[in-house]
Amino acid sequence: MCRPSCCDNSGGQGAGIAAVALIAIGTLIVAKIGPIVAQIVHIALEVIRITALTAGAVLAVAVAAWLAVMTMRWWLRHRGAQRQATPQPVNATIWQNVPAGDQPECLACGGSKKVLQLIDGSRYQPGACPMCEPAQWAR
């Protein structure tokens, strides 16, 4: 078959061959670089996985520490409430320590130099008499 002169496209074959050559070169490049890119992607995913596991472990330790602190605070408050609820007996045998005769009697302690002092608004503890100390310093 003969072609008419208006349909003569001699440059069409060269463009097709160039396109096939470009596809072949691209395929070779992808075949050589593909495993390298796959290894890079694999390493990047491993780094992300290790980072996520480390962050999760740190978060778990922080939550466990926070829970331990909250539990200890609650326990100390609860224990403190129990201590305040139970009255503490005080040994009030101060009159046995009163010396006889020659010292002037203090109105606060009766000469024993010991008084019951109020602690925490509900408990009493024996202590030194604050009224007798100035009298001792004056001697």
Global pTM? 0.40
Residues 6+ apart with CB under 8 A from 123: 87, 88, 90
CB of 41 within 8 A of CB of 33?
no
> In tens digits, what is the pLDDT along the chain, a chain of 139 residues?
565 666 555 555 777 888 888 999 988 888 888 889 899 999 999 999 999 999 999 999 999 999 999 999 999 888 876 766 666 666 655 555 555 555 557 777 777 778 887 777 777 888 888 777 654 454 4
Q: Is 112 helix (H, G, I), strand (E, B) or coil?
A: coil
